[in-house]
Amino acid sequence: MKIHEFQGKEIFRRYGIPVPDGEIATTPDEAQKIAEKLGGKLVVKAQIHAGGRGKGSLTKAAEIHGVKVVTEAKDARAHAQALLGNALHTHQTGPEGQVVRRVLIERATDIAKEYYVGLVLDRETARVTFIASTEGGMEIEKVAAEMPEKILRLGVDPATGVQAFHGRKLAYGLGFTGDTANKAAKLLAKLYQVFIDTDASLVEINPLVLTKSGDVIALDAKVNFDDNAMTRHPELLALRDVEEEDTRERAAKDAELSYVALDGNIGCLVNGAGLAMSTMDIIKYVGGEPANFLDVGGGATAAQVTTAFKIILQDPKVKAILVNIFGGIAKCDVIASGIITAAKEVGLKMPLIVRLEGTNVELGKKLLGESGLSITPANDMLDAAKKAVKAAGGGK
Ligand code: GDP
Ligand code: MN
């Protein structure tokens, strides 16, 4: 689960991680009031669940960016007015952009140097791991690709948790010295505590800055939580902003389906995560590209299958649909009725390839055959994948 920068900064504040003073505004009037209250040089920052806002710009006005330094309250108001209600386009939003519903008005910082620090779970070492770089403000993926030597990594043993030496090692590694090294080291230890306490999957400060007056502060905040841990954090779940979520992923979540949108053109509807993974593999094996991962679950109902179908069809990239079902707990006839209902409801026109196997398979096939729908049956997974790739107009 993602949250906004201002929410991440509120968490940082509670842990004693220095962040600039600031408040959130939803109207130009509020922006002006906050700006007058804070006074001096300010930054107006669009709040969307995507990075790259500084370089990003309004879809309808390329000269208006998502982060702007201003010197007067009236300019803060004007920039808030320009952003609010309009779509901001960044390299992370997709071509249609994301509508700005809130802006953060902050006291501006005089930057001496920008750094990158982040925490992720390294699955290879099974440790929460610090990533740090002197190349702050840049995308870390780009730094990793172009200057891997500029990236420091440091895993933390879960048995000891974060220790003073972790912070020092990273701070000195980044070139901090003396008092600022102490400040950076302390900040890093607190950041680790945020990660652990909130069951985060990612905590990132880009940029962490050294100010001209010698302070070390978090100028940006990106915090993602592990969805599977949200049941034990009702206070964090309250930070969810459904308006920022992908409409298809949200509909899937609400129907208790696991859905992940991908870049290909073959929509997949599968029961069971393992089968869904191997379906994507076999599509790739025969030269195609899946449009999504979609697991309707072992005990799928006809209603869930209908929802799943609608979600797949909302994706304009989809050129063919592959249904791959192994009827165990979910019986083939139940899935077949779901497919028929959904296909009729949405007036399905694109190629539909179905591979059914397992409990009540004959009944399922009979229902599909008598449905009047144009369905391409497949004998097995490989056959299904080949037919789907061909129907979608690609493949080897
Ligand atoms: P992002 O582009 O979405 O990652 O947004 P950031 O919060 O990281 O801001 C982008 C860039 O704006 C930063 O890398 C800074 O260079 C600049 N910026 C943000 N806040 C300030 C500030 O208070 N003062 C100055 N001078 N620059 C800032
Ligand atoms: Mn940033």
Give the CATH number for residue 52.
3.30.1490.20
43 lines ligand 1 (CB under 6 A): yes
Instruction: List own/partner pairs for 16-19 with CB under 8 A and 24 or more apart.
Output: 16/190, 17/187, 17/190, 17/191, 17/194, 17/218, 18/187, 18/215, 18/216, 18/217, 18/218, 19/217, 19/218, 19/219, 19/221
**Mind listing the pLDDT tens digit for each residue in 234-244?**
999 999 998 89
CA distance 7 to 16: 14
| Dihedral sign for Cα atoms in the order 16, 18, 19, 21 | positive
53 CA: nearest ligand 1 atom: 3
Whether residue 194 is contained in a domain is answered as: yes
9 found inside a domain: no
Q: Tell me the best of 92, 105, 111, 115 to mutate to test the pocket of ligand 1, counting ligand atoms within 8 Å of each CB and taking the most.
A: 111
Task: Give the phi and the psi of residue 316 in degrees, each rounded to 5.
Answer: -65, -15
Average model confidence (pLDDT) across the chain: 94
pLDDT tens string 5-38 = 999 999 999 999 999 999 999 999 999 999 999 9
Q: Domain check: are 370 and 269 in the same one?
A: yes
The verdict on whether 235 is a catalytic residue reads: no
Q: Are residues 102 and 158 in the same domain?
A: no
pLDDT of residue 396: 47
Q: Which of 5, 192, 204, 259 is catalytic?
A: 204
Assess whether 175 and 257 both reside in one domain.
Answer: no
Distance CA 242, CA 277 (A): 27
Q: Identify whether residues 225 and 329 lie together within a single domain.
A: no
Domain residues for the domain of 310 are 247-391
Q: What is the pTM of this model?
A: 0.83
Mapping DSSP to helix (H, G, I), strand (E, B) and coil, where does residue 298 land? coil
Domain end point (choices 180, 215, 236): 236
Sign, CA torsion 70/73/75/79: positive
Q: Is the CB of 109 under 6 A from ligand 1?
A: yes
Q: Is the CB of 137 under 6 A from ligand 1?
A: yes
pLDDT per position as a tens digit, 224-237: 999 999 999 999 99
Total domains in the fold of the chain? 3
Note whether 360 and 333 are same-domain residues.
yes
Q: 164-173 and 178-197 are packed helices; what angle lies between their axes, rounded to 10 degrees?
A: 120
Smallest CA separation from ligand 1 atom 24, residue: 109
Same domain membership, residue 115 and residue 87: no
- Rounded to an integer, the average pLDDT of 298-325 is 89
Q: Is residue 1 part of a domain?
A: no
**pLDDT-derived band at 299, boundaries 50, 70, 90:** confident
Q: How far apart are CA 132 and CA 119, in angstroms?
A: 9
Q: Whose CA is nearest to atom 16 of ligand 1?
A: 137
- Same domain as 174, residue 229: yes
Residue 297: other Cβ atoms inside 10 A: 18
Q: Which of 79, 107, 135 is the last residue of a domain?
A: 107
